[in-house]
Amino acid sequence: MVSVVYEAPDSIEGAVNLLANADVPAHILAGGTDLIIQTNGSSDAERLFVDVKKIAGMTEANLTDTALVLGPSMSCAAFTECDDIKAVFPGLVEAAYLIGSTQVQGRASVGGNLCNSSPAADTIPALIANGAQCVIAGPGGERTVPVEEFVTGVGRNCMEKGELLKQITIARPAANTSDAYLRFIPRTEMDIAVAGAGVSITLDDNGTCTAARVGIGAVAPTALLVPDAAAALVGSTLDDAALQAAADAASAASSPITDRRGTVEYRRQVVGVLVKRAATIAAERAKGG
Amino acid sequence: MAKSHVSTSINGEPVEYLCDPGDTLLDVLRNELQLTGTKEGCGSGDCGACSVTLNGRLVCSCLVLGVEAEGAEVGTIEGVGANDKLHVIQEKFLEHAALQCGVCTPGLIVSTKALLEENPNPTEEEARYYLAGNLCRCTGYDKIIRAVMDAAETMREGA
Ligand code: FES
Ligand code: FES
């Protein structure tokens, strides 16, 4: 059995100190829904768990006039109850709502989903679509990384020893902007994405798309920002040709694997379809419809 | 390895215990506190047999560390009924024969209570989605859902 040393510091500095000075493998404990399982089967003799949920701001979300500031360890259950955030970022909230069962929602968090860095994480394409920024605290101070650069590989991210995700921030979108996230799973609930797509759309008064961001998940080692898909949408009224071009761009950007959830060909096709549908839903929402 | 001292509240009663920092709350409930109503099905967050509430939120106790209960309020199946009186949800599970082996039942009852506190008038679909994290190997779910819907109705009438 692994022996765990548990610390629950009440400040970012305290957490960074513990993480930076650890001489055994150190882990950040947020909701624990991934970490506790991963540790069960581990062969390490000793591990340090730094519970970050006692640190001010870690489990809260704050939507101001200019930005959403999300405490990375806020449970998905609490996050998805925030009606003000849902009104502005419905797609991001939907993505958070798709993670696990009611019980898992009670502990799992958006920041945990991001830091676990699974290729199939539901919130990452939605965060990418919304241009989220990751504020990382470490021994040398703070740095900010765009979410599409945060994850660097399967289960890997850019955080160095001693670093900790302090906040996820998203600028409040322009008027007539909204988002959507869709994933495909073979069941209706409690499954892992075969493919996922998050899209944010800004429209002008004539219904022409003036800005877009497209994030795709589960079709490459990391979730991807797809600028070509966004470019296919901008300037259009989201007509069939533009949607198809965006879908084709997303399929082309993907580099999926075949596993028991789906084949390369299937995932490539489905991710395009999801981009089309998510773009259509985001545009409907952006119209206020 | 030094044990951690934890002060918490379980079903409204103050409780103190010592545990290894790596022990799950499920381990502590069952092995340390002899609250064996909470069951272990999978130990990996998949089955919901270990469902408890932590500060009012439904969670899998196999995915919570015992040390994390410090200062928290924990609710288990033992707190659902009174010693000599079953909760309506428990009565309805019996009435509808919503259990066979019973391993999933404590988790389902704790989850149903959380559901009905959040949403006293769920549709069948809402109930099925809410309880999707509670697996049952025996009943085929239909009797469980009938018990849940009946309990919801009875509780609404009683309110
Ligand atoms: S024992 Fe905790 S979810 Fe199965
Ligand atoms: S009654 Fe046996 S698992 Fe549900």
Residue whose structure tokens are 């790596």: B22
Share of residues in chain A with pLDDT > 90 (%):
91
Burial of A193 (0-12, 13-18, 19+ CB in 10 A): buried
Same structural domain, B74 and B8: yes
pTM of the predicted protein model: 0.95
Q: How far is the CA of B33 from the centre of ligand 1 (A)?
A: 18
Average pLDDT, chain A: 95
**Of B40, B60, B79, the domain-final residue:** B79
> Which atom of ligand 2 is closest in space to residue B137's alpha carbon?
3
* CATH number of the domain to which B28 belongs: 3.10.20.30
Distances (CA, A) of A213 to A171, A209, B133: 14, 11, 33
In contact, A183 and A196? CB cutoff 8 Å: yes
Longest dimension (CA), chain B: 53
- Ligand index nearest the alpha carbon of residue B136: 2
Tell me what pLDDT residue B159 has: 65
Tell me what pLDDT residue A224 has: 97
Burial of A63 (0-12, 13-18, 19+ CB in 10 A): middle
Same structural domain, B68 and B103: no
**Of A154, A171, A188, the domain-final residue:** A171
Same structural domain, A188 and A158: no
Same structural domain, A214 and A239: yes
Condensed to tens digits (0 to 9), the pLDDT of residues A132-178 reads 999 999 999 999 999 999 999 999 999 999 999 999 999 999 999 99
Tell me what pLDDT residue A261 has: 87
Same structural domain, B72 and B117: no
Residue whose structure tokens are 């928290």: B72
Best of A40, A80, A101, A104 to disrupt the B interface (most B CBs within 10 Å) is A101
- Concatenating the DSSP letter of every residue in A181-246 gives EEEE-SSSSS---SEEEEEEEEE-TTS-EEEEEEEEESSSSS-EE-HHHHHHHTTS---HHHHHHH
Tokens read off for A287: 């119209």
* CATH number of the domain to which A96 belongs: 3.30.465.10
Helices (H) and strands (E) counted in chain A, each on its own, are: 12, 14
> How many A-B residue pairs are in contact by the CB < 8 A criterion?
90
Residue-number span of the structural domain to which B130 is assigned: 88-156
Residue-number span of the structural domain to which A18 is assigned: 3-51
Same structural domain, A68 and A167: yes
Tell me what pLDDT residue B83 has: 85
Residues B103 and B139: their CA atoms lie apart, in Å, by: 11
Q: Secondary structure of chain B: what % helix, strand, coil (to 5)?
A: 40, 20, 40
- Which residues surround ligand 1 with Cβ inside 6 Å? B 40-43, 45-50, 60, 62
In contact, A211 and A235? CB cutoff 8 Å: no
Residues A172 and A53: their CA atoms lie apart, in Å, by: 25
Residues B96 and B122: their CA atoms lie apart, in Å, by: 18
Same structural domain, B151 and B103: yes
pLDDT at A1 over 70: no
Same structural domain, B22 and B73: yes
Residues A134 and A285: their CA atoms lie apart, in Å, by: 26
Same structural domain, A230 and A160: no
Three-state SS letters, A30-57: CCCCCHHHHHHCCCCCEEEEEECCCCCC
User: Which among B44, B59, B132 is the nearest to A37, CB-wise?
Assistant: B44
Name chain A contacts of B65, Cβ cutoff 8 Å: 4, 6, 29, 32, 36, 49
| Residue B109, ligand 2, Cβ within 6 A | no
pLDDT at A120 over 70: yes
Condensed to tens digits (0 to 9), the pLDDT of residues A197-227 reads 999 999 999 999 999 999 999 999 999 999 9
Helices (H) and strands (E) counted in chain B, each on its own, are: 5, 5
Residue A120 lies in a domain: yes
* CATH number of the domain to which B103 belongs: 1.10.150.120
Residues A22 and B59: their CA atoms lie apart, in Å, by: 30
Residue A56 lies in a domain: no
Tell me what pLDDT residue A18 has: 98
pLDDT at A21 over 60: yes
Same structural domain, A154 and A231: no
Same structural domain, A69 and A149: yes
Tell me what pLDDT residue A63 has: 98
Tell me what pLDDT residue A91 has: 98
Same structural domain, B9 and B42: yes
Same structural domain, A167 and A182: no
Same structural domain, A28 and A127: no
Tell me what pLDDT residue B1 has: 62
Q: Does A42 contact chain B (CB < 8 Å)?
A: no
Condensed to tens digits (0 to 9), the pLDDT of residues A25-39 reads 999 999 999 999 988
* CATH number of the domain to which A266 belongs: 3.30.390.50
Q: Show which of residues 179-198 on chain A sit within 8 Å of chain B, judged by CB atoms.
A: 189-190
Domain tally for chain B? 2
Name chain A contacts of B131, Cβ cutoff 8 Å: 102
Residue A109 lies in a domain: yes
Tokens read off for B150: 């009946």
Same structural domain, B103 and B72: no
Same structural domain, A39 and A67: no
**Of A171, A203, A220, the domain-final residue:** A171
Residue A7 lies in a domain: yes
Burial of B5 (0-12, 13-18, 19+ CB in 10 A): exposed
Domain tally for chain A? 3
What mean pLDDT do residues B66-94 have?
Answer: 97
Q: Determine, for residues A102 and B67 on separate chains, whether the beta-carbon distance falls below 8 Å.
A: no
In contact, B63 and B75? CB cutoff 8 Å: no
Residues A171 and A132: their CA atoms lie apart, in Å, by: 8
Does the ipTM surpass 0.85?
A: yes
Question: What amino acid occupies position A142?
Answer: E
Condensed to tens digits (0 to 9), the pLDDT of residues B27-56 reads 999 999 999 999 999 999 999 999 999 999
pLDDT at B155 over 70: yes
Tell me what pLDDT residue A43 has: 67
Condensed to tens digits (0 to 9), the pLDDT of residues B82-96 reads 989 999 999 999 999
Nearest-CA distance from B24 to chain A in Å?
9
Same structural domain, B74 and B111: no
Residue A76 lies in a domain: yes
What mean pLDDT do residues B63-71 have?
Answer: 97
**Of B44, B79, B114, the domain-final residue:** B79
Same structural domain, B95 and B39: no
User: How many CB atoms are closer than 10 A to CB B19?
Assistant: 22
Same structural domain, B8 and B32: yes
Residue A151 lies in a domain: yes
